[in-house]
Amino acid sequence: MNQPKVKVGVLGATGAVGQRFVQMLQGHPWFEITALCASERSAGKAYADACTWTIRGDMPEHLRNVILRPCEPNIDAQLVFSALPADSATEIEMAFAQAGYGVCSNARSYRYDADVPLLIPEVNPEHIQLIDVQRRKRGWEGFIVTNPNCSTTHLVSALHPLHVRFGVRKVFVVTMQAISGAGYPGLSAMDLLDNVVPHIGGEEEKMEKKEPHKLLGFFNGAEIDYADMVISAHCNRVPVRHGHLEAISVEFAETPDEAEILAAWRDYYPLPQQLQLPHAPQPAILYNEAPDRPQPRMDRLAGSVPGMATVIGRLRPDPLFDYKFIALGHNTIRGAAGGSLLNAELLLTQGYLGREAAALAQTLQVA
C-alpha cells in the first residue's frame, strides 16, 4: 500500500547533529524530509553550499540543491527534528510547538521542564504521556519532546535494566567523550591533539543532578517523581572522532552476583524492540566479552542498527562500590539524532502524530 509518509523538517540541518538527521532519514519507511532549516547565515543558500558535510558517505544527492529555510514555523511539515544550539532552540522550538508542529529536540532548553518528556524509548516510554499534560497546560496543539545529552543516554541505557531489578543507589562515572560531541567545527586540533581536556561545560551537572534522575523516574499521572540515587561524574574530552566511552562504578540496593547482572543486560527486551521500531537495535544492549573492549573505533557502530546500541564490557567487582564496567555509545547517532528519531518512531506508533500516521506504522513496520 502506498500511504503518504509524515513530512518532517530538520532545524539546524547544517550542523553535526543536523547532518546525522539528514543521513538517518534517508529511505525512512515513515518519514520524509520536506524542509531543511538553518540560521540566517545559511538561509537562502543551497544545502551543499552552506553545509560542510563531515560524516562518512556523501550528502544525499537529491538534497544538495535544496534551498535552506530560516527556522520559522511556516514550513510544509508536521514534525521537526531540532539540532539547534540551546540559546536559539528556546525561542524557535516553542514557536514551532505553538504553531502546531511536533518538535523532537536535542537541545537542553526544555529537558528539565516538568511537563516535557525527556525520553529514551527503551527506558521510559510511559513518560510520553507528559505530552497530554503539556498540551493542557500550555494550550499547544503541537508539543516538545526531548532526548538526553549524549553521555547521559549511554549511562542510563546501561543502568536501566540493572535499576529495575536491583535498584541503583550510587554511581561513579568517568566519561571519555568524542570531539564530535562539541559540534562542528568544535575544538581546534591544537587544543585536542596529544591532549585530554578535563572539562566539558555543564556536562557533569546534567549527569549528576538532572537527567538520569528524570529518565529513571516514575510518571505519576501528572509529573515525574525523580529517581533517588547519587551520581558523581567526571567528564573529559578526548581525541576520538565519534563515540563516548564511560567507566562506570555502581552500588545497588540489593547486590546481585555477576551472572545476574549479565542476565539483566542479556534478557533486556524493552518496548521499542518489541514494537520493532525501524531504528530500534536488536538487541538494545550488546555485551562484549573481550578483556579490552568496547573501544570507540571498533565498537561504536556495532549492532543491528549501526550506532544505536549501547556496548558494554569489562564487568568486574569494584572495591569501593559493588561492580564496575565500561559502556560505549555513538554520540551523534544514539546520543543525538538517532535518539530523537527513535523518539519520533515511538510517538508515531503511540498515536501522537495522528491516526493516519499510526496506521502507517502498521502497514510499513519493518520485520
**Nearest-CA neighbor of 284 among 264, 313, 308?**
308
The reply on whether position 15 binds ligand NAP by CB under 6 A is yes
The site map against ligand NAP for 251-280 (x = CB under 6 A) is ------------------------------
Residues in CB range of 104: below 8 A, 6 or more apart: 79, 80, 81, 82, 145, 146, 147, 340, 341, 343, 344, 347
Which DSSP string corresponds to 49-106?
A: HH----SSSPPPGGGTTPBPEES-S-SS-SEEEE---HHHHHHHHHHHHHTT-EEEE-
Residue of the chain from 29, 60, 183, 239 that contacts ligand NAP (CB under 6 A): 183
Residue 154 annotated in active site: no
Please, what is the minimum distance in Å from the beta carbon of residue 340 to ligand NAP? Answer: 9
Q: Could you say which of 6, 8, 9, 18 contacts ligand NAP (CB under 6 A)? A: 18
Residues 42-101 that bind ligand NAP (CB under 6 A): 42, 71, 83-86, 88-89
Write down the least CB distance from residue 87 to ligand NAP, Å.
7
What does 316-355 look like in DSSP terms, one character per residue? Answer: EE-SSSSEEEEEEE-TTIIIIIHHHHHHHHHHHHTTTT-H
Q: Which three cell numbers stand for residue 168?
A: 541503583
Q: Active-site residue 62, yes or no?
A: no
Report which residue's Cβ sits closest to ligand NAP: 15
Using the rule CB under 6 A, which residue among 146, 288, 331, 350 binds ligand NAP? 331
The nearest distance, CB 89 to ligand NAP, in angstroms, is 6
| All residues at 6 or more sequence positions from 362 whose CB lies less than 8 Å from its CB, including other chains | none
Measured from the CB atom, the residue of 68 and 347 that comes closer to ligand NAP is 68
Q: How far apart are CA 127 and CA 47, in angstroms?
A: 35
**Can you give the binding site for ligand NAP, defined by CB under 6 A?**
12-18, 38-39, 41-42, 71, 83-86, 88-89, 106-107, 149-150, 180-181, 183-184, 331-332, 335-336
Q: Give the residue numbers marked as catalytic.
A: 150, 244
